[in-house]
């Protein structure tokens, strides 16, 4: 089984308590249509498991095929630096069909962030290293496309519809409650 090489840390964007029974890590790309399909499914999964789940999102922009993916990822990181990562993450997926440089500025404005500061950050590549580090860690962990999920540190190779993920997470919870966590 393919294992996550980079453990969840304070560098990550996390929703849910540290004490959660299950940690679900997604490697995603804001311009990837499959990731946009996964987005509402993640919401349902989080709703279903409540405090029993911790959700982590890491960047895996496929920049060769998705021209806006890198800037979108850096925009989410910019918002994160102002405490609004998840708000931006959600807006990016909800508005994916309109993804463009102009949309990024519009979304920044919507979240009361300064569009000029975002432009500057993108131009200076302030968050490029962070996004690259996510990407490298993903490649080393066996991420071979987007979205890729890890459940309690193991890559989920099945489908990512609600029923499949639900079952995989239930199984992971079963494993952790019946044996020592490793």
Of 176, 180, 179, the closest CA to residue 54 belongs to 176
Provide the token pair at 35. 């990731």
Shortest reach from residue 147's CB to other proteins, in Å: 9
Smallest distance, other proteins to C-beta of residue 69, A: 10
Does the footprint of other proteins cover residue 63 (CB under 8 A)? yes
- Whether residue 4 contacts residue 151, with contact meaning beta carbons closer than 8 Å, is answered with no
CA angle 28, 72, 35 (to 5 degrees): 25
Strand 148-151 with 22-28, pairing: antiparallel
120 binds other proteins (CB under 8 A): no
For other proteins, which residue of 146, 153, 172, 173 counts as binding (CB under 8 A)? 146
Which listed residue (143, 168, 169, 172) binds other proteins by CB under 8 A?
143
Q: Residue 34's closest CA among 90, 93, 104?
A: 93
Based on the shown chain and the rule CB under 8 A, indicate whether residue 114 belongs to the binding site for other proteins.
no
Stretch that binds other proteins, among 48-56, 141-149, 159-167, 172-180 (CB under 8 A): 141-149
Torsion region of 112: left, alpha or beta (phi above 0 gives left; psi -120 to 50 gives alpha): left
Helix-, strand-, coil-residue percentages of the chain, each rounded to 5: 55, 15, 35
The whole-angstrom separation of Cα 13 and Cα 86 is: 8
Nearer to other proteins, 85 or 150 (CB): 150
Using rule CB under 8 A, residue 37 touches other proteins: no
Q: Which is nearer to other proteins, 68 or 141 (CB)?
A: 141
Q: Is 126 in the site for other proteins (CB under 8 A)?
A: no
Any idea what DSSP says for residue 50?
G
Using the rule CB under 8 A, is 32 a contact of other proteins?
A: yes
If binding is defined by CB under 8 A, does position 100 make contact with other proteins? no
Nearer CB in complex with other proteins: 65/167: 65
Question: CB 107 → other proteins: shortest distance, Å?
Answer: 24
Residues that bind other proteins (CB under 8 A): 2, 5, 32-34, 62-65, 135-136, 139-146
């Amino acid at each position: 089984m393919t294992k996550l090489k980079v453990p969840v840390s304070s560098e990550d964007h996390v929703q849910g308590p540290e004490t959660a029974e299950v940690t679900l890590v997604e490697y995603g790309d804001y311009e990837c249509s499959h990731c946009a399909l996964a987005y509402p499914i993640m919401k349902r999964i989080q709703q279903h498991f409540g405090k029993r789940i911790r959700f982590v999102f890491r960047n895996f922009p496929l920049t060769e095929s998705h021209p806006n993916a890198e800037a979108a990822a850096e925009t989410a990181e910019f918002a994160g630096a102002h405490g609004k990562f998840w708000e931006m993450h959600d807006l990016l997926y909800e508005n994916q069909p309109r993804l463009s440089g102009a949309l990024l500025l519009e979304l920044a404005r919507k979240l009361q962030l300064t569009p000029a500061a975002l432009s500057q950050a993108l131009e200076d590549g302030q968050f490029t290293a962070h996004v690259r580090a996510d990407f490298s860690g993903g490649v080393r962990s066996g991420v071979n496309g987007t979205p890729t999920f890890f459940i309690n540190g193991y890559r989920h190779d099945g489908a990512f519809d609600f029923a499949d993920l639900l079952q995989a997470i239930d199984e992971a919870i079963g494993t952790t409650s019946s044996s020592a966590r490793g």
